Structures are given as C-alpha cells and as structure tokens.
Amino acid sequence: MGFESGSMTFHAFYLVKTFTPPDMELFAKRVLPPISTLVGEQPLHGWAGPSHALDAELTEEHCWRGDWLWFAHVTAQKKVPPSLLRASLLAELEIERKARGWETLPRAARQEVKERVTEELLQGAQPSFGSMECAIDLRRERLLAGAMNDASMQVLCPFFRETTGCMPVLCGPESAALRLRGVDSNSVELINFTPNEAVGVPPEVRLGTEFLTWLFYRWEKENATFELDGERCQMMFEGPLMFSGDDAPGCHETVLRNGTPLDTPEFGIALWNGKKLRRAKLTLTRNDWIVSATIDGYDFAFRSLKCDPPKKSKEADAFSEMPSMNAPGAPAIEADTGDAKRKLTADERLDRAAFYVDAFLALYNQFLQLREDGVKWRSELAKIQPWIRERSGQTEA
C-alpha cells in the first residue's frame, strides 16, 4: 500500500473527534463482509487492515503505528468485462432471433435477453476490489485518505461517519481558511493579480490558486525559508506547472512541462492573462527531512508525495544552489541526505506526510493574514504585479 512504500496520494480531512487506539473496535464492527455474500452487481463496503484488501484483523495491536491508526476502506463488487458482456449478448440475441423466427427482436425481448445474460455472467464473475488507504493522525485530529475524487469521497465520508459518528471535513482552501483564521472566501475582496488592465476582475475568489501564485512569488523573489514550530524550514518549486483561470481570455488552462518550465516566457504570459498557478511540485524540508508532492490549488490534493531518504545528494545540492534559500546574512542550511540504505517505516513516512501538510497549512495561514486585510493585500500586490509584468516581458506604458 502507498503509505508503506512508494509515493503517497491523498486528501487531508479534519476530524471533530479525538481518536485513540482502542477506537479500532469501531472499525472492526464494520469489517468488509465475506465475499460469498456478494449478490449481482450490488457492492460490499467495509474496513480492512493495512496489509491487504481482505485483512480482517482490525485490532489496536495490528493497526496502531506510532501516532497513527492505519487501515483501509474497501469496496468489493462483481463486474463483467464490457467486451465479454457485449460479445455474449450479441451471440445470445442472434440465437433468440433465430429461435423465434423473427427478422428483428423487439426492445422488450432484447432487454430480457440482456438481463438474463448479465445475471449468468455475474454468477461466474470474480470480484474486483477498490481500496482507499486511510490513516488517522492521533495527535492532530486529522485523517489522510486516498479518496481523490468526489465519487470516492461520497463513499468514504458517510461510511466513516456511520462507523465512528464523526464526519470528515475535506481540508480544502475554503475549509482551511475558516479553520485557520475564520476567513470566509465569499467575503474576501475581489482584486486582480495581474496588472493587465484588459483582464477583468474574476467573478469569484479562488484562495487556493491565489495562494500558490503568491507562494511561488515569495519563493522566487523574497524568501524560501519559513519557520514551523520554532524550526527553520525551506521550500522549492519544480515543474510541471499548470495555470488556470475560468474567466481568462482564450484557453482556460496552460500546462508547462519538460525543459525548464520555471524559466519559460509562457510562465509570465499565463499570469499576465489572468491565470493563476493551480498545480505544481513543491518540496518542503526540515533538518534532514525532504518531502515533495504535487499540489492542486483547487482542492489541496497531495499527489505523488515522496519522503524516502534520497539515494543521492543531488536533492540537497539543489537546495544549496538556490540563491533565495537563505535570508540576507543568514548562514547557509545544509540538508542532510540521511541514511539512504534504511527503509522508512509506515509511521515514519506518515509523520513526514503530516509535516508536509502542517508546513503547507502554516504557509497558507501566512497568506491568509495578508489576504483578509485589504490594505495589506494591496500592498502585497504592489510587489507582485511588477514581478508579473517582468515575467511576461511587458513594459510600462
């Protein structure tokens, strides 16, 4: 599973209830039912342990790792491959037509044959499994779950509430703004990022894309270091980059990949035309922790998060070569590459994922402090807009 090895892809959810290791008993009561109870296409839902989709050991000893409860939401369903269903249906329809001596079968007869063929194929079909990995952070009252689209969240969240009595709340730009600073995105002043007067004021505020655009500006022009819990951290952006703007002229999305997307002229042109940074790879470090993920500004999805100890020192070298990594006069920070031979345990990897979410939200909180105050935000834009003009190659009128 992703939380144990490889990259991690997840959404973070707020929990309004404090969980403890004995709470695994709640999940054990809703373990995935036996596969033999599958009937037709009706799916089965349930919880499973961290080992595999049929891991029914939902105990405190088995699922408690460090400060985490680690388990999965599993869906089991019998499905007939569409190609097999189509071929079997056409063959059966032809047999039925010849048996009745008709030139064509009426709709009612075709529907009857389809239902019969589908039922027969389902009886011999093997079940398929869908698994969403989940981990409850016992310290932060937060859930990390591999539910990456609306459909999967609509399955996971209500079932989690049925099991625990606690409804997970997606940690997105709007909910995080309310949680961190009580900021309602609907009450925030609409102000253009771009100095391009031909671009109108956007019809709605998208705090997530505004935040990523602001953060990129801060990293490139001001300071790539920040503090988290009294410790000094660093950040670095990488491509590919996606810019988005529903009200931007022409195309609504611009994707920059391959080559040097951070330096390409199209970067500034996208900002000049009213688009904002929606998706980018962001690396955050603290001491010898180097964690990177692709961030989506629309919903704060964390994709392909990597936290294993680097096998080579090029990651640390990349940070040391960045001119904006240190404040003027501050000593350089050297990233420790760690022990490349030791594989991180699941709870260590989850701790690094939690650090990444914490650091990301801490930076978002700094952005909100500026964004909620109209005077401070206009002062900030007075610095950002010349940068956009410079990036896009525009000259003052």
Residues 129-140 pLDDT 10s: 888 999 999 999
Task: Tell me how many domains the chain contains.
Answer: 3
Question: What pLDDT score does 283 carry?
Answer: 95
Q: Is residue 233 part of a domain?
A: yes
Q: Is residue 1 part of a domain?
A: no
- Judged against a pLDDT cut of 70, whether residue 312 lies above it is answered with no
Question: What pLDDT score does 324 carry?
Answer: 46
- Judged against a pLDDT cut of 70, whether residue 332 lies above it is answered with no
What number is the average pLDDT over the span 304-321?
A: 62
Question: What pLDDT score does 328 carry?
Answer: 39
Q: Final residue of a domain: which of 106, 139, 170?
A: 170
Q: pTM value?
A: 0.84
Mean pLDDT of the chain: 86
Question: What pLDDT score does 193 carry?
Answer: 85
Q: Is residue 108 part of a domain?
A: yes
State how far the Cα of 24 lies from the Cα of 38, in Å rounded to an integer.
Answer: 25
State how far the Cα of 319 lies from the Cα of 283, in Å rounded to an integer.
Answer: 10
- Judged against a pLDDT cut of 60, whether residue 316 lies above it is answered with no
The reply to whether 195 and 253 lie within a common domain is yes
Least confident of 64-73, 88-97, 135-144: 88-97
Question: What pLDDT score does 101 carry?
Answer: 83
* Residue-level length of the chain: 397
The reply to whether 257 and 374 lie within a common domain is yes
Of all residues in the chain, what percent carry a pLDDT higher than 70? 89
Which is higher by pLDDT, 234 or 193? Answer: 234
The reply to whether 21 and 87 lie within a common domain is no
State how far the Cα of 23 lies from the Cα of 278, in Å rounded to an integer.
Answer: 37
Q: Which helix (H) or strand (E) holds 51?
A: none
The reply to whether 197 and 343 lie within a common domain is yes
Question: What pLDDT score does 149 carry?
Answer: 92
How sure is the predictor about 277, in pLDDT bands with cuts at 50, 70 and 90? Answer: very high
- Judged against a pLDDT cut of 80, whether residue 348 lies above it is answered with yes
Of all residues in the chain, what percent carry a pLDDT higher than 90? 52
The reply to whether 152 and 227 lie within a common domain is no
Q: Tokens 């919880």 belong to which residue?
A: 47
The reply to whether 341 and 356 lie within a common domain is yes
Least confident of 17-21, 132-136, 245-249: 245-249
Q: Is residue 3 part of a domain?
A: no
The reply to whether 224 and 298 lie within a common domain is yes
Enclosing domain of residue 45: 8-79+125-170
The reply to whether 226 and 335 lie within a common domain is yes
- Judged against a pLDDT cut of 60, whether residue 228 lies above it is answered with yes
Q: Final residue of a domain: which of 91, 124, 157?
A: 124
Question: What pLDDT score does 333 carry?
Answer: 45
Q: Final residue of a domain: which of 138, 170, 202?
A: 170
CB-count exposure of residue 129 (10 Å: 0-12, 13-18, 19+): middle
Question: What pLDDT score does 380 carry?
Answer: 93
Q: Is residue 148 part of a domain?
A: yes
Q: How far is CA 70 from CA 44, 59, 256, 393, in A?
A: 21, 10, 36, 50
State how far the Cα of 98 lies from the Cα of 91, in Å rounded to an integer.
Answer: 11
Q: Is residue 298 part of a domain?
A: yes
The reply to whether 160 and 27 lie within a common domain is yes
- Judged against a pLDDT cut of 90, whether residue 168 lies above it is answered with yes
The reply to whether 38 and 103 lie within a common domain is no
The reply to whether 154 and 109 lie within a common domain is no
Q: What are 53-56's contacts with CB under 8 Å, separation 24+?
A: 53/129, 53/131, 56/31, 56/32
The reply to whether 19 and 111 lie within a common domain is no
Question: What pLDDT score does 325 carry?
Answer: 41
Q: How far is CA 216 from CA 219, 259, 278, 284, 368, in A?
A: 5, 19, 11, 13, 15
Least confident of 24-38, 162-176, 358-372: 24-38
